[in-house]
Amino acid sequence: MVIPALPLWLGYWIQWHVLGPAQAISDWSQIVGLVPSILGVYLRQVFYRGILPYVGPDASIGFGVLLASSSTRIGKGAYIGPYCVLGDVDVGDDVLFGSAVSIINGARQHGTERLDIPVREQPGEWPRISIGRDSWIGDRAVVMADIGAHCVVGAGAVVTKPVPDYAIVVGNPARIVKYRNETPATRLARSS
């Protein structure tokens, strides 16, 4: 499966040198994201393993997935569902993303204080996001902050603050509703 990826890698590296890494990863993730079926999953696996710092050997990257950073890391056993958009992120081992999950780099990507220059030209902050191992991010969630290990993020949740290990969060903005490692006794003690 390496041979079909050779022209893709070549095109990516040429564009990387001519237009820069941000434009290259954006354009080429769109191209490889449109290959359907199991062939597309394998092609994306091979392509991304050749250009990203790390992609686990059994990671699955779905149809229509777009990457915005050439420093994205995807762990072993990770599943990235169809139509996800990933910014600069470290995805841990055994992480599951539902469909159309967006991982954006913080809530302050654009300044808004000045009125004399457009928002798109104002400086912002782009923190790298980390998703801890064995976490599950539900369909259409938006993640702007780190998520710990063994977490569950409900479908449609908007994560604006870091989520601690084992937390289950839902809503907009996301709030903790319980912990996966809680027993009835610890839940009672926490609520008192």
Residue 162 pLDDT: 98
Q: Helical H runs in 34-160?
A: 37-51
> Average pLDDT by consecutive 10-residue portion of the chain (192 residues)?
80 92 93 93 93 96 96 98 97 98 87 88 88 98 98 98 98 97 73 64
Residue 9 pLDDT: 86
What is the C-alpha separation between 90 and 158, in angstroms, rounded?
18
Residue 178 pLDDT: 95
Residue 108 pLDDT: 77
Residue 110 pLDDT: 82
